[in-house]
Amino acid sequence: MTAPIPGPVWIDPPRFWTATAGKSEAEVTQLLEHVSALWHAGDTEALMRFGFVTCVGYPYKKDLKAAV
């Protein structure tokens, strides 16, 4: 069973650059591939463990079901 894709991953650029400072291009590419794999798996908890990921999903989208 495939988990639904949770929406976009919001990355804070200053935190991302701090987290990847001193890493080679290959290491950064591998990190982003890992983030992408977690996103495709729908594992939002694992994504939020990265210090540079600030949100997963649509933070400004209102939940219409909650309003009813």
Which are the contacts of 38, defined by CB distance < 8 A and separation ≥ 6? 46, 47
pTM for this entry: 0.74
Domain spans of the chain?
Answer: 9-67
Give the tens place of pLDDT for each residue, 30-52. Answer: 999 999 999 888 888 999 899 99
Give the tens place of pLDDT for each residue, 4-38. Answer: 667 788 899 999 999 999 999 999 999 999 999 99
